[in-house]
Structure 1
Amino acid sequence: MNELDYLRQMRSLNRPVSPPRDLWADIDRQLDAATVAPRRRRDRARPWLMAAAIAGVAVLGGGLGLHLVAPAGDNSLATTGHAWKPSDPRLAGAAVELDAAHMELTQAIQDSPESAALQRLLIRTERQRERLRNLDKQAS
């Protein structure tokens, strides 16, 4: 075969070809089947979605119950501390962040004094401030 034969074959492909049978009946049948199928899938997934929703509500309720029952903790460290500036400039950024956190936590505790989680965060912040003071003492 030479190049002219290939060109003739390509020209013959350019002509319209009608299918041997009517395709619209098959297309219509497939479209009807496609519109029914998602409903069936959705109906099969509904029990799983309900089970997941119930499990989510149970986990949320359990978490809230544990949060309400948790002990408030020791509040002795929460009353100490004020703005402090370390002598080592490498620790100054951490001191500013801890002071800001302390101030925000005390304001949040004033809004909801019964929150055990806020009390624990405040105690943890006070401990971090104390560690920072110890680092400053060691550095100087």
Structure 2
Amino acid sequence: MNELDYLRQMRSLNRPVTPHRDLWADIASRIDASAPAATPRQRRLRPWLMAAAVAGVAVLGGGIGLRLAAPAVNDRVAAAEKWKPTDPRLAGAAIQLDATRMELTQAIRENPDSAALQRLLLRTERQRDRLRNFDRQAG
């Protein structure tokens, strides 16, 4: 058998095949037979279970929404804390330190247990404080 014969056989498999008898009647009767009837107690509990499920989804959605909104609030606070030096010679360093601080804050959010990132953020804050002192002394 060569490749052309295989291709012909594969093309013949692509045709629709109808079953010899209707299968849906058997499937529907088996589903009806296997479905247990709800007891009166189960019928009374269904509305309460639905209400509990809706409340659970609402609480979960609210928690996720608050969790997603918290970094945006933190970013606004960080933007408000930006400092602009009066001496133009220090402006470039202040911009660089602010950018570094924002990147480190984001990295710490992703990996809060990293001691190295915490040390780098502390070092950046110290450099920023020294730069502020230079600015005060300069002018």
Query: Scaled by the length of structure 2, what TM-score is found?
Result: 0.43
Query: Scaled by the length of structure 1, what TM-score is found?
Result: 0.42
- Please tell me whether Structure 1 or Structure 2 has the larger radius of gyration of its CA atoms: 1
